[in-house]
Amino acid sequence: MTRPLFIALVLLLFAAAPAPAATDTDGDGIEDSQDNCLETPNDSQLDSDGDGCGNACDADYDQTGSVDGSDFMILRSMMGRTSGDADFDGSVDLTGDDVVGGTDFIIFRAQMNGTPGPSLVATRDVSACP
Ligand SMILES: [Ca+2]
Ligand SMILES: [Ca+2]
Ligand SMILES: [Ca+2]
Ligand SMILES: [Ca+2]
């Protein structure tokens, strides 16, 4: 085989190789770079407070960058509220089912003393969504 032919063959092989698949760490169908909860499956991408961290990984209701006792007080005040209530705060509804209830509390507890996210959404507010 001549050298130019060999190089042409190698180039052809590289061109035919499939492009590397986009990474989707949590398997929710949203590519990592677009996913507002990188490690939490949330195909709805619901982000009620618009800080760039999806509700599913954002129990930091008061936007301080950490999930702590003050957030718990907010959750407690919203317990049992539904989207039909005038004072309903959608960002407290972590599951996005229009009710603040026990499942939201379980998710909150898992995030307690942590930080919201992580999210890789380029437009996120990094002080509220590190
Ligand atoms: Ca994903
Ligand atoms: Ca996700
Ligand atoms: Ca959010
Ligand atoms: Ca907080």
pLDDT in tens, 3-41: 777 777 666 766 766 666 789 999 999 999 999 999 999
Ligand nearest, relative to CA of residue 43: 2
pLDDT reported for residue 17: 66
Which residues are within 8 A (CB) of 44 and not within 5 positions of it... i.e. 6 or more apart? 54, 96
Ligand 2 geometric centre to CA of 118 (Å)? 9
Cα–ligand 4 centroid distance for 64 (angstroms): 4
Q: Is the pTM of this model over 0.95?
A: no
Amino acid at site 15: A
Tell me, in angstroms, the distance from the centre of ligand 1 to residue 2's CA. Answer: 47
> pLDDT tens digits for 77-114?
999 999 999 999 999 999 999 999 999 999 999 999 99
40 CA distance to ligand 1 middle (Å): 7
75 Cα–ligand 3 center, Å: 14
User: Which of 14, 104, 91, 98 lies closest to 60 in space, CA to CA?
Assistant: 91
Query: Nearest ligand to the C-alpha of residue 53?
Result: 3
130 versus 98: the higher-pLDDT residue is: 98
Q: Report how far ligand 1's centroid is from the alpha carbon of 34 (Å).
A: 8
